[in-house]
Copies of this chain bind each other. A is one copy, B any other.
Amino acid sequence: MSISKKIKASISQSSMIRKMFEAGIALKKTHGADKVYDFSLGNPNVDHPREFKRELIRVADQEIALKHGYTPNAGYLETRQAVAEKISKTTGVKINADHVVMSCGAGGALNVILKSLLDPGDEVIILKPFFVEYPFYIENYNGVVKYVSTKPDFSLDPDAISKVITRKTKAIIINSPNNPTGKVYSKKNIEDLARLLREKSRVLNKPVYLIADEPYTEIVFDGVTVPSILKAYQNSIIAYSYSKTLSLPGERIGYIAVHPKIHDADDLVNALILCTRIMGFVNAPALMQRIVANLQHITVDVNIYQKKRDLLCNGLAKAGYKFPKPQGAFYLFVKSPIPDDVEFVKMLLKHNILVVPGSGFGCPGYFRIAFCVDDPTILNSMDGFAAVIKECQ
Query: Which chain A residues have a beta carbon within 8 Å of chain B's beta carbons?
Result: 1-8, 10-11, 14, 41, 43-45, 47-48, 52-53, 56-57, 60-61, 65-71, 104-105, 107-112, 115-119, 133, 136-137, 140-142, 206-207, 209, 247-252, 263-264, 267-268, 270-271, 274-275, 277-288
Known contacts A10-B278, A140-B278; 13 additional CB pairs below 8 A are: A1-B264, A2-B206, A7-B116, A7-B274, A56-B60, A68-B251, A71-B250, A104-B280, A137-B280, A140-B279, A279-B279, A281-B281, A285-B288
A149 to chain B minimum Cβ distance, whole angstroms, is 24
CA distance A212 to B6 in the complex (A): 24
Q: How often does this chain occur in the complex, in copies?
A: 2
A253 to chain B minimum Cβ distance, whole angstroms, is 8
A270 close to B11 (CB less than 8 A):
yes
CA distance A68 to B52 in the complex (A): 11
Residue on B with the closest CB to A133? B278
B65 close to A47 (CB less than 8 A):
yes
B57 close to A61 (CB less than 8 A):
yes
B250 close to A286 (CB less than 8 A):
yes
Residue on B with the closest CB to A71? B250
**CB-contact partner of A285 in B60, B252, B282, under 8 A:** B252
The residues of B that contact A8 with a CB separation of less than 8 Å are 267, 271
**A-B contact list, 27 entries, CB within 8 Å:** A2-B117, A2-B206, A2-B267, A2-B268, A3-B264, A3-B268, A3-B271, A4-B119, A7-B115, A8-B271, A44-B69, A45-B66, A48-B67, A56-B60, A68-B248, A69-B250, A71-B250, A107-B282, A108-B282, A109-B280, A112-B280, A137-B278, A250-B286, A252-B284, A252-B285, A285-B288, A287-B287
CA distance A116 to B281 in the complex (A): 17
Residue on B with the closest CB to A58? B60
A205 to chain B minimum Cβ distance, whole angstroms, is 11
A70 close to B271 (CB less than 8 A):
no
The residues of B that contact A71 with a CB separation of less than 8 Å are 250
Residue on B with the closest CB to A286? B250
A12 to chain B minimum Cβ distance, whole angstroms, is 10
The residues of B that contact A263 with a CB separation of less than 8 Å are 2
A41 to chain B minimum Cβ distance, whole angstroms, is 8
Q: Which residue, of A53, A68, A286, has the highest number of chain B Cβ atoms within 10 A?
A: A68
The residues of B that contact A115 with a CB separation of less than 8 Å are 4, 7, 140
A4 close to B117 (CB less than 8 A):
yes
CA distance A17 to B288 in the complex (A): 28
Residue on B with the closest CB to A170? B2
A-B complex: 7 closest residue pairs judged by Cβ atoms: A250-B286, A107-B280, A68-B248, A111-B280, A136-B278, A108-B280, A60-B60
The residues of B that contact A118 with a CB separation of less than 8 Å are 4
The residues of B that contact A249 with a CB separation of less than 8 Å are 68-70, 282
Known: A69-B250, A250-B69, A251-B68. A207 touches B2 (CB 8 A): yes
A283 close to B4 (CB less than 8 A):
no
The residues of B that contact A119 with a CB separation of less than 8 Å are 4-6
A43 close to B66 (CB less than 8 A):
yes
A248 to chain B minimum Cβ distance, whole angstroms, is 4
